[in-house]
Amino acid sequence: IMKNTFKIIGTAVILLGLASCVKDLDVKPIDPNIVQDFNQEAVFAKIYGTLGLTGQTGPDGDGDVDGLDEGTSSFYRMMWELNEFPADEIWWVWDSDVGLADIRACAWTSSNPLVKGLYYRLYFDITLCNLFLKETATASDENTTRQRAEVRFIRALNYFYLLDMFGDGVPFVTQVGVVPDKITRTDLYNWVIAELQEIEPQMYADDGTKPYYRVDQAATWLLLSRLYLNAKIYTGTEDYDNAALYAGKVIQSSAYELAPIYKHLFMGDNDKLGAAYNDAWKEIILPIAQDGVQTQCWGGSLFLIAASHSNGMNPWGSSDQWSCFRSKPTLVNKFFANPSSAGSGDETTLPTKAKDDRCLLVSKGFTLTGGATSGDDAFTKSWGIAKFSNLHVSGEATHHAQFTDMDVPLLRKAEAYLTYAEAVHRGGAQTGAGTALDAVNELRKRAHAPEWTAADLTDANLLDEWAREFFAEGRRRTDLIRFNKFAGNVNYNWEGKGNTPEGQNVDAKYNLYPIPYSDLMANPNLKPTEGF
C-alpha cells in the first residue's frame, strides 16, 4: 500500500462498535452521516492506517475515537506513552497534561483518561478488523485471502497489546455487534499464537516481494518470538525454545538485514531504497507509514520528533519544537557509568565518547539532576534525546515543513537478535542462528560498540542492551517486567517512580493497566482488574 492510500476519505463503511466500549468513548463510523456499501480496498487501507492515523481529515477533525483529543488518540502515541512514561527511560515534562503525571509515577487508576484512551483505541481497531473479516468471509480469491490474513495479523497485534498491558479478563470478540465476554490472559495468549500460526502460510513469503507497507511471514515470526519470550509473564510457564526458534527464523530471513547505520532508521527517508538514500528500510519489518503531506497526525513520528526537540539542539526536520520529553538519568547511565566524563556533547559527538553509535543523546545545555517536575526548566534536567530527526540522508528537503516523513519502525529485525540472545541465555535451544553471544554482537558491531565476551552475557547487561538498542521505541515497560525490574519489591528505581524524585518501589498491581471503570459499568461480563 502506498503512502497516499492511507489518507482514507470518510465514505468507506459504517462500523458497528463493541457494545462494551461505546458508552463512554463512542466508536465513530467512518462517516456518520452517510450509509455506504462496504468498500473492501478502502477498509483494508484504513486498517493499516489505524497504526498511524487518528481520523478521517488529517491531523484534526472527525477523529476515530470520541472523548479524547484527537492528537493523543493515536494507536502508536498512546501505546508508546503507556510503555515509556512509567519506565526508566523517558521523562514527560508537562504535568498539566491530564492523566500523565499518574502514568509517570506508576499511580494510575481505572479512570485514568490515557488508560481509557488506549483501551478504546485498541478495541476500535479490533472492531474494524472484525468488520472486514465479516464482510469478506465468503470470498476466496487470492487477493482477499491474503488481505484477510494481514487483517487477522493486525487484529492479533492489537490483542497482543491488550494481553501485555491489560492482562487477565479483557473483553474478547471476533464478531461485530455483540457484547463480548472476558477472556483469561492464558487463553488470550494461546489464541494469539494459534491465530498467527494459522495465517502464516497465507501471508506474503519472506522473500522481499511484499509491498513495503504490508506484513509478511517474518512479521508473524517476530511477533510470535515476542510472545514466547514473555510467556512466563503471560501464562506462568516459560517457552524460551520457541522464542529462540521464531527469532532465529527472522535472523535467518534473507528478506531483511540490519541497517548499516543505526541513526538512519529514524530519519525522514528511512523508506527509500537506492544509493542516494540510507537503506534503513531493509531492517524494518512493519513500518507505520508517515509522510508530511499524505499522513498528517499528531501521534506518529511528529510526536517523537517535535516532543523531544527544543531550541539549542541541532536542526531536525520539523518546524515544531514541543520540548515535552527528555531522558531520565537512568537512560544516560546505560551509555556512561560516569556521565560527567562525557562533557558537553550532542548526537554528533556523544556516540564516539560512548563508543556506541546508539548514544543519540544531547548533554550540551542540559544537566543530569533529574527530579524537576514540570515546565521548560524540567526539560533540561537530564539529557535530551536526538534519536528521531526526520532529516533526509540524501539531503533532500522534507515533504512538509511541519509534519514528518519518518516512518515509525514498529517491528524491526534488530529485535530478533536480542530476543534470540535472551532466550538462549535463559535456556532456550540454540538454532542455526548461532549463539546468544553471536546475536548480541551483531548489534554491537553495527553500533561500533565493543563486542561482548561470554562473561558479559548476564541478565543485567541484557536488560541494559535492550535499552541501548530500543530506547524510546515504546517497549521498555514490557522488558522491565520480564526482568522483574518494574513494579513490586524489585529495588530498581528511577526518577519519579512512586511519585518521589529518586524513585521508590510501587505495588505489583502496576505491572498491569486496569480495565476502565466505564467499561465495567457498560458490560456486566467484565470484572475489575485485580487491585483496582
The whole-angstrom separation of Cα 323 and Cα 256 is 35
DSSP 238-261: --HHHHHHHHHHHHH-TT----SS
DSSP 475-500: -HHHHHHHTT-SSBS-----TTGGGS
Spell out the SS3 assignment of 361-393. EECCCCCCCCCCCCCHHHHHCCCEECCCCCCCC
Kindly give the parts of the chain with pLDDT less than 50.
Answer: 1-35
Burial of 338 from C-beta contacts in 10 A (0-12 / 13-18 / 19+): exposed
pLDDT for residue 295: 81
Q: Which of 418, 409, 528 is nearest to 482 (CA)?
A: 418
pLDDT for residue 96: 77
The whole-angstrom separation of Cα 278 and Cα 260 is 8
Q: Which of 457, 445, 452, 466 is nearest to 258 (CA)?
A: 445
Give the Cβ contact number of residue 257 at 10 Å.
11
Q: Which of 115, 205, 105 is nearest to 165 (CA)?
A: 115
pTM: 0.92
The whole-angstrom separation of Cα 166 and Cα 526 is 13
Q: Using alpha carbons only, give the angle 67, 73, 76 rounded to the nearest 5 degrees.
A: 160
The whole-angstrom separation of Cα 17 and Cα 362 is 45
| pLDDT per residue as tens digits for the range 212-264 | 999 999 999 999 999 999 999 999 999 999 999 999 999 999 999 999 999 99
pLDDT for residue 36: 63
pLDDT for residue 373: 72
The whole-angstrom separation of Cα 470 and Cα 475 is 8
